[in-house]
Structure formats: structure tokens, C-alpha cells
Amino acid sequence: MVNILSPINIFKREPKLRLLFVASEAAPFIKVGGLGEVMRSLPKALRALGHDARVFLPKYATIDLEKYPLRLELEDLRPAPSEEEDPHGLFISNVLRYDNDSGETIAYFLENMEYYEKRANVYGYTDDAIRWALLSRATPEFLRHSSWRPDVIIAADWQSGLIPNYFHTIYKEDRKLSAIATVFSIHNLFFQAMFDHHFVSEMDYDSGREEIPGFNDPRLSKLNFMRRGIMYADVINTVSPTYSQEITTAEYGEGLHELLSERRSRLSGILNGIDTDIYNPETDSDIQFHYSIKTLDLKTKNKSVLQQKFNLSVRSDVPLFGIVSRLTDQKGFGLLMDAAEPLLENFNMQLVVVGSGEGHFMTFFQELAKKYPQKVGIHLSYDEVLSHTVYAGADAIIIPSRFEPSGLTQMEAMRYGTVPIVRKTGGLADSVVDYDPANKIGTGFVFEKFDHRAFYGAMVRVIETYRYPEFWRDIQKRAMKADFSWTKSAREYVELFKKAIEYHVLG
């Protein structure tokens, strides 16, 4: 008998997954922080693996329509309320879509005048509960009308926490939607709802079991969206293995550790990656002198550029530290408040700070720059281009976070041979290996205790090591070689999605 290989077998490939990410931000359309970056680069990496990954987000007024022309996908979507609940039609929305240069649809936008279009910012409105409930409810409503339907929906952070809840309740029996599995992704457990969950009275406590109230019902803003996402999703993931463990403890669990422990078998952590096309010192158009691991000497030229930009003395022998961050308590800047002056007094070092945040940190850095003008430079607002200037020009980057679900800056900086100093927590612990001169290993400097003395000690280690250029060079090279491309993590996500589908079938 002739053995004919069945073409089906030859070309047997894994079935392509259809995936819809729902989030409050996604680069390049809109980016406030790390979440936005991940919502660009993870779907992109999944598409490169052959999957059909799209994002769904609000159509903010600030989205550059010239760069990203949008087309109408669906008109007059009525996401929920009955006519009595929405007499002025405020919730009626459109869905727009964006196709990339290859003609693939990669993003959908929820267009609503009242709740997104009229607002200058992404976050921070008193009716945010309504704004995010609207996005969450519009997701199934849109999909009911759409011919494209995902196998899995990935809801990110509290803003889309109601999605798993809606799917598990109202849409459970829906003929078109009931097969869709849900994943809830925790990028930051600290933010759970409209309110600060640390101060919830017993009366306002949301067990997550009550029905979701209507958009205009004041009880909506009392819901803990994050808890509901965790409760109702088929699987839950966080953005690093260490953080996924940490959040099952009282110290890091932000009041949800018991729930997370209960759902432990559904919980996992996958370290974020970075877009190595964008963060690449060989091609980055935001930096002045391109370099690679082989031409690391050229990094010094970028250092001079950075020093000049911040009016610091131009010296190559002094270690230049960078901070590129939201200036919030999470990021650990309290440690600098105690340690920065003694460091600046005792050592020859320089510091540049790029980012904005809480007032007391802004004031602190302003005063530091005033007191040490040759040594400290500040730019207290977020600036994407400048952040690349810092990656290219600084010797080291400081990330002393109290907690850090993943953290991207340490990985981005390492790509530029900028050595990270991090606290051993969350994704920082998973991405930086502490320098050990005896064994010639390490990609950065790691300290464990959240304590200014531990931080000070790590800084002294860095400054001392910097005095030995050959050792320093080896650390830089190891950091640059570390592989943080998305491919590996994207494959882990594919396994996670399959698990979600399996669990969903089991019910």
C-alpha cells in the first residue's frame, strides 16, 4: 500500500486562538504606565506565534487619529440600561476598530461621548465606577453583535474586573457567549476599586456575591471590582511568578490573600517581557549614539548627553544613577528620603530623576536638586523620549520598590547595559540576579529588606564595584544578554489560555 502522508498531518498545527484583551490602556494608542505597554507587546507577541490577539479599550479623545485611523465597526451599541435607566442615551456607544498595516484588526475602541470622549485623562474621575462598568458590560454586548468572537477574554486589573462577573452570571446561558473563557490578569493588586480598600466600613464591604447594580445605582461604586475579577474568572494570573506567591500572604495580599489562597490552583504568574524592537540601543531613534554589547564604550557618549541635559558636571568617572518611575509609595522612594543625602554627602555620584507622582516625593526631589545642583537633575513629569535618554546614558537604575508585580524598567534598562539596583520582590526578584564577584555572576544589585540601611548598603556596593571598570563591564554585558523578549512568556500565556478553556468547559 502506498503510504500517503495526509496533508492534514503534515500541516497539523496547534489551533489558532482568538483572544480579546480588555483594558483601560494600550500602547501605542494610549499609555499611562506599564499596563499600557504590556497591552501592546503581549498581543503583538501572541500574533507573532500565529494567534489572533486584539485589544478592546475606550476611545479616548487624546488618541492620535491621524496616526491611527479608526473605522466604524458597530453603531448604537446599548451596553445595558433599559430606556428608563438611560433617558438621555448617555450610555449609547459605538465600537470602532483599528487595522494595522497588514490589514489585521488589532484593536477595538468603545466610543462614548459622555464617559470617555469628554475627559482629558484616563483615570481619576468620581464616576470611574460607571466608566469601567460601561467598558466591562459593553464587552459582551459588543461580542453578541460581532461576527468575530474570541475563545478567551483577558480582563486586566480592576477596571475590567466586572467582565468575568458578567460572563459568569448574566451571560452564562447566552448562546453566543457562553463558550468564551475568561482570564483575569492582576497587574497591581493595590488598586481594587473606586475606594481605598484599606478603609472600607463593614456596611460597605462587597462580598462579591450580590448582583451587579445598574450603572446609575450608587451601590456600583462600592463594588470591589478586583475581588469580583478574581472570584469569577476561569483562571487568574499575575505578571511574575514571585508576585503570584506573595499575594497569597497577608503582607502583600491587600486584603484578598485568603481569596487568592482559596483559588490558588487557578492562580499563576508569568513574567512580563519587553518589546526588544522598541528597546534596542542599536536602533533606538530616541538616543543619540547607538551602541551594542560590542561597542559598549559608546555608552559614555550618551552619558555626556544625559549629564548636559540635566546640567550636571560632565564626568565619565562618576557613577550616574537614574530613576524612571511613577513617584509613588509603591516604588519605594521613602527609602531614598532617608538615604539620598548621606549618599550624596559621602560619595561622588550623580542622580537623574524622570517621572511624576505623589507631592511629597516631588518636593523631596526638587529640594534635593536645589541642594546638590551638580549632582542631582530632575524632570518631574513622565517623558517617554527622556526615559530612553536615561537608559542609554545612566550607569545604573534605582528601583527600590516596596512591592512590584513585574516591573518593566529594570528589563528595559538592562537592555541598554544600565545596571539595576532592586529590592528583592515580585518581578524584580524574578528578573535581576544579584552580583556575586566570587562566582562572577549577576546582572545587577539586589537587596532584601525594605529598609533604608539595606538600600544604602546596596548603593555602596554599587559605587565600590563601579571603581573597577572591568568588573562593571562584565555586569553590564550579562545584563544586556539577559533575554526578556516576549516569546517565552507569550508561550506560557498560550498554555494558560488553554487551561482557562479547559476549566471553563468543566464549569
Q: How many CB atoms lie within 10 A of CB 87?
A: 8
Which phi and psi angles does 90 have, rounded to 5°? -65, -25
Selected range binding ligand GLC among 170-178, 262-270, 402-410, 434-442, rule: CB under 6 A:
402-410
Distance CA 186, CA 164 (A): 13
Q: Which of 10, 13, 105 is nearest to 56 (CA)?
A: 105
**If binding is defined by CB under 6 A, does position 246 make contact with ligand GLC?**
no
Query: For ligand GLC, which is the closer residue by CB, 188 or 192?
Result: 188
Closest distance between ligand GLC and the C-beta of residue 190, in Å? 8
Closest distance between ligand GLC and the C-beta of residue 81, in Å? 32
Closest distance between ligand GLC and the C-beta of residue 453, in Å? 25
> Taking CB under 6 A as the rule, which mask of x and - marks residues 268-307 in contact with ligand GLC?
----x-----------------------------------
Q: Which of 193, 230, 239, 340 binds ligand GLC (CB under 6 A)?
A: 239
Query: For ligand GLC, which is the closer residue by CB, 91 or 493?
Result: 493
Output the 3-class SS for 67-120: CCCCEEEEEEECCCCCCCCCCCCCCCEEEEEEECCCCCEEEEEEECHHHHHCCC
- Is residue 337 within 8 A of residue 368, CB to CB? The reply is no
Query: For ligand GLC, which is the closer residue by CB, 39 or 378?
Result: 39
Query: For ligand GLC, which is the closer residue by CB, 34 or 81?
Result: 34
Query: For ligand GLC, which is the closer residue by CB, 80 or 324?
Result: 324
Closest distance between ligand GLC and the C-beta of residue 357, in Å? 12
Q: Which of 182, 350, 406, 489 binds ligand GLC (CB under 6 A)?
A: 406
The beta-carbon contacts of 374-377 under 8 Å, at least 24 apart in sequence, are: 374/312, 374/313, 374/350, 375/312, 375/344, 375/349, 375/350, 375/351, 376/312, 376/344, 376/350, 376/351, 376/352, 377/309, 377/310, 377/311, 377/312, 377/350, 377/351, 377/352, 377/353
- Is residue 372 within 8 A of residue 347, CB to CB? The reply is no
Query: For ligand GLC, which is the closer residue by CB, 38 or 153?
Result: 38
Residue 160 has which C-alpha cell? 475590567
Pairing of strands 396-399, 267-269: unpaired
Which phi and psi angles does 377 have, rounded to 5°? -125, 140
Closest distance between ligand GLC and the C-beta of residue 38, in Å? 5
The number of residues that bind ligand GLC (CB under 6 A) is 14
- Is residue 430 within 8 A of residue 241, CB to CB? The reply is yes
Closest distance between ligand GLC and the C-beta of residue 83, in Å? 39
Query: For ligand GLC, which is the closer residue by CB, 38 or 352?
Result: 38
Selected range binding ligand GLC among 8-16, 126-134, 401-409, 466-474, rule: CB under 6 A:
401-409
Answer positive or negative: Cα dihedral of 243, 247, 248, 252: positive
Distance CA 113, CA 437 (A): 59
Q: How many CB atoms lie within 10 A of CB 342?
A: 12
Q: What angle do CA 490, 19, 142 make, to 5 degrees?
A: 155
Selected range binding ligand GLC among 5-13, 102-110, 349-357, 399-407, rule: CB under 6 A:
399-407
Closest distance between ligand GLC and the C-beta of residue 156, in Å? 8
Q: Which of 20, 30, 38, 432 binds ligand GLC (CB under 6 A)?
A: 38
- Is residue 317 within 8 A of residue 391, CB to CB? The reply is no
State which residue has the least CB distance to ligand GLC: 34
**If binding is defined by CB under 6 A, does position 34 make contact with ligand GLC?**
yes
Closest distance between ligand GLC and the C-beta of residue 229, in Å? 15
Helices 452-466 and 333-346, packing angle to 10 deg: 50
**If binding is defined by CB under 6 A, does position 214 make contact with ligand GLC?**
no
DSSP summary character for residue 30: B
Q: Which of 18, 28, 32, 33 binds ligand GLC (CB under 6 A)?
A: 33
Q: Which of 150, 161, 355, 407 binds ligand GLC (CB under 6 A)?
A: 407
Chain residues binding ligand GLC by CB under 6 A are 33-35, 38, 187-188, 239, 272, 404-408, 427
